[in-house]
Amino acid sequence: MEKIPVSITTEYIKLDQLLKFAGAAESGAAAKDMILSEMVSVNGEGCIARGKKIRAGDTVTIEFEDETVEITVGAE
C-alpha cells in the first residue's frame, strides 16, 4: 500500500481537489471518475460525493485494480 501524506493550510479541501493535489488523479475529470466508480473511501466509508469536505485527520483510501493508495491529511 502506497501512503501519501498531505498537509493543508485551509479548514478543508474538497475530495476531488485532494485527489488532484496528492497526485492520485491527473485531472478533475479523472478524480470525478474515480469517485463515481466507487474506488474512494473516506475514513473507511465509501464516498461518491466529489465535493465532500476533507479535513486534517481524515484518511482517504483509493482502491485501484492492483494497488491501494492511502492519503492522510494533516495541517501545517
Domain with 38 in it: what CATH number? 3.10.290.10
* C-alpha to C-alpha distance for 68 and 51, rounded to whole angstroms: 22
pLDDT band at 65 (very low <50, low <70, confident <90, very high): confident
- For 69, the domain range is 2-75
* Domains in the chain, number: 1
pLDDT band at 23 (very low <50, low <70, confident <90, very high): very high
- Return the higher-pLDDT residue of 65 and 23: 23
**What's the pLDDT tens digit per position in 42-64?**
999 999 999 999 999 999 999 99
Query: What pLDDT does 76 receive?
Result: 79
Angle at 55 (CA atoms; ends 39, 44), nearest 5 degrees? 35
> The cell 501519501 sits on which residue?
4
**73 close to 6: Cβ distance less than 8 angstroms:** yes
- Return the higher-pLDDT residue of 76 and 5: 5
